[in-house]
C-alpha cells in the first residue's frame, strides 16, 4: 500500500514538473506590426481569447527602441506560454520603421507577420486626434481640432498649398512604401493583411482569416461577438458563447473625430489613391476600401 502511495506521489510530482517546464517565456511566433490606429489593439484583444494564443499585453518596442538590450531581454518581456500556444507581440511602430524588417529577419526568417490596414484618410484623422489628446490640446473642441488638422496638413510650395507628404501622420498611411521595405526580407506568404474597417463591422470574418493564417482551430466565430457600446461602435467579444461574460476595449478607444471639410477629405483621397492602388496590386488582394 505504501509503495502504491509513493508511486502515485512520484507520478504527481513528475506531472507537475512537466507542467512547470511547459510554461515558459520564448520569442514570438508572430508579430502584429501595425498599422497604427488601424485596430491593432482590437485585433489583439480578440485573438487573445483563443486558448492557443498567448499575447504580450503591452507594446514592447524591442526592434525600434530597445534593440540594444538583446534577444534575452526581448524574450523576458514575452508572456508565459506552453507548447500548444502561439506567442504574439504587438508594436504598430514596427511597420513604418525602416530598420525593423532586417532585425526581425535576423531573429526569425520564418516568423508570421500580421498587418491590419484601415482607410488611410480615416487613419490619419484618428492618429491626429490621438496626438491632440496626448498633448491635451483642446481635446473636447472638435471645431478647433478640425482647423488645426487643416493648418498642419498643408505646406506652401511655389505659392501653392500641397499636402505635407513628410508629416508622419500622413506618411504613416503610405502603406505600400512600408510593405515594400518589409518585402525586401519576407515573401508575401509571411504576411496576413487584415481589413481594419471590416474588423469593426464584421469582426468574425477577419478573425477567421487570422486564425487560418496562424494555423489555429477556428473557434472564434460570429456568435462570439456582441455590440455593447452603440455610441463608439466597437464590438465586444464573448469569451464563451454559453455565458454572458464579455471582453471589451478600453473607453479610450473610439474618440470622436473632428468634421474635416469635404474638399480636404477629397484632396486626401486623391493624394492616397495611387499609393492604395499600388498597395493592393502588390499584396494581390481586392481593395479593402474605395480607392
Of the candidates 49, 52, 146, 40, the residue with the CA atom closest to the CA atom of residue 96 = 40
Residue among 4, 36, 37, 247 flagged as catalytic: 37
Query: 154-157 and 53-55 as β-strands: parallel, antiparallel, unpaired?
Result: unpaired
Instruction: Tell me: is residue 257 an annotated ligand-binding position.
Output: yes
Whether 231 is catalytic: no
Instruction: Tell me: is residue 21 an annotated ligand-binding position.
Output: no
Instruction: Tell me: is residue 204 an annotated ligand-binding position.
Output: no
Query: 225-227 and 235-238 as β-strands: parallel, antiparallel, unpaired?
Result: antiparallel
CA distance 51 to 186: 28
Instruction: Tell me: is residue 273 an annotated ligand-binding position.
Output: no
Find the angle CA(180)-CA(183)-CA(187) to the nearest 5 degrees: 145
- Identify the bridge partners of residue 89 per DSSP, sorted by sequence position: 31
Instruction: Tell me: is residue 256 an annotated ligand-binding position.
Output: yes
Of the candidates 104, 100, 87, 94, the residue with the CA atom closest to the CA atom of residue 26 = 87
Find the angle CA(107)-CA(75)-CA(86) to the nearest 5 degrees: 80
Instruction: Tell me: is residue 254 an annotated ligand-binding position.
Output: yes
Instruction: Tell me: is residue 196 an annotated ligand-binding position.
Output: no
Annotated binding-site members: 37-41, 118, 126, 253-257
Residues with active-site annotation: 37
Annotated binding-site members for 3'-phosphoadenylyl sulfate: 37-41, 118, 126, 253-257
Amino acid at each position: 500500500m505504501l509503495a502504491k502511495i509513493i508511486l502515485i506521489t512520484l507520478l504527481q510530482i513528475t506531472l507537475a514538473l512537466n507542467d512547470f517546464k511547459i510554461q515558459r517565456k520564448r520569442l514570438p511566433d508572430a508579430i502584429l506590426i501595425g498599422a497604427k490606429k488601424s485596430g491593432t489593439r482590437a485585433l489583439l484583444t480578440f485573438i487573445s481569447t483563443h486558448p492557443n494564443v498567448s499575447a504580450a499585453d503591452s507594446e514592447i518596442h524591442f526592434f525600434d527602441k530597445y534593440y540594444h538590450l538583446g534577444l534575452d531581454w526581448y524574450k523576458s518581456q514575452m508572456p508565459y506560454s506552453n507548447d500548444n500556444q502561439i506567442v504574439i507581440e504587438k508594436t504598430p511602430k514596427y511597420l513604418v520603421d525602416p530598420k525593423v524588417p532586417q532585425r526581425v529577419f535576423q531573429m526569425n526568417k520564418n516568423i508570421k507577420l500580421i498587418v491590419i490596414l484601415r482607410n488611410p484618410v480615416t487613419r490619419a484623422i484618428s492618429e491626429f486626434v490621438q496626438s491632440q489628446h496626448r498633448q491635451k490640446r483642446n481635446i473636447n473642441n472638435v471645431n478647433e481640432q478640425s482647423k488645426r488638422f487643416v493648418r498642419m496638413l498643408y505646406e506652401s510650395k511655389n505659392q501653392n498649398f500641397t499636402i505635407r507628404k513628410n508629416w508622419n501622420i500622413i506618411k504613416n498611411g503610405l502603406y505600400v512604401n512600408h510593405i515594400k521595405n518589409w518585402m525586401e526580407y519576407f515573401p508575401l506568404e509571411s504576411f496576413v493583411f487584415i481589413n481594419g474597417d471590416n474588423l469593426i463591422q464584421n469582426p468574425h470574418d477577419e478573425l477567421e482569416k487570422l486564425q487560418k493564417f496562424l494555423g489555429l482551430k477556428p473557434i472564434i466565430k460570429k456568435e462570439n461577438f456582441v455590440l455593447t457600446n452603440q455610441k463608439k461602435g466597437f464590438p465586444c467579444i464573448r469569451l464563451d458563447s454559453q455565458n454572458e461574460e464579455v471582453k471589451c476595449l478600453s473607453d479610450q478607444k473610439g474618440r470622436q473625430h473632428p468634421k474635416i471639410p469635404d474638399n480636404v477629405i477629397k484632396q486626401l483621397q486623391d493624394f492616397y489613391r495611387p499609393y492604395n492602388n499600388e498597395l493592393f496590386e502588390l499584396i494581390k488582394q481586392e481593395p479593402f476600401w474605395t480607392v
